[in-house]
Amino acid sequence: MLKINTDKIAEIIILARDMSRGEREFNAFVSGLDEEEQASLVAVMWIGRGSFDALEYAEAYRTAITEASTPTEDYLKGSPHLADHLENGLDALGISATAEEDDLY
């Protein structure tokens, strides 16, 4: 289903929580993802903020691919609750990033 590993999303959640000190690292990590991973990441964020339902993941993914017009890292930084949206999106999809986040800390 997802075109990005959960551990990568967990890393982004951690980086998003510490954006004030790690913005360069966040930018480098997200820009280093391929187009499918970036679109999947945006789709998970949209599900987490309620723009799409978990059952609409495929539609959210397609929309993220077709509507991408700015660098993904810049778009994601515009979401003030990015880490929460990503966690909520994963939860809605029945995926937990807690173990991956714990391993990364």
pLDDT in tens, 9-40: 999 999 999 988 889 999 999 999 999 999 99
pLDDT tens-place string over residues 53-68? 999 999 999 999 999 9
Q: Specify the pTM.
A: 0.92
Please indicate, yes or no, if residue 71 is contained in any of the structural domains. Answer: yes
Please indicate, yes or no, if residue 1 is contained in any of the structural domains. Answer: no
Please indicate, yes or no, if residue 63 is contained in any of the structural domains. Answer: yes
pLDDT band at 1 (very low <50, low <70, confident <90, very high): confident
Whether the Cβ atoms of residue 82 and residue 46 lie closer than 8 Å to each other:
no
Whether the Cβ atoms of residue 90 and residue 9 lie closer than 8 Å to each other:
yes
98: Cβ–Cβ under 8 A, 6 or more apart, which residues?
Answer: none
User: Could you tell me which of 46, 81, 49 has the C-alpha nearest to residue 61?
Assistant: 46
Tokens found for residue 100: 């991956």
How many distinct structural domains can be found in the chain? 1
Phi-psi domain of 50 (left: phi exceeds 0; alpha: psi -120 through 50; beta: other):
left
Domain encompassing residue 81: 6-104
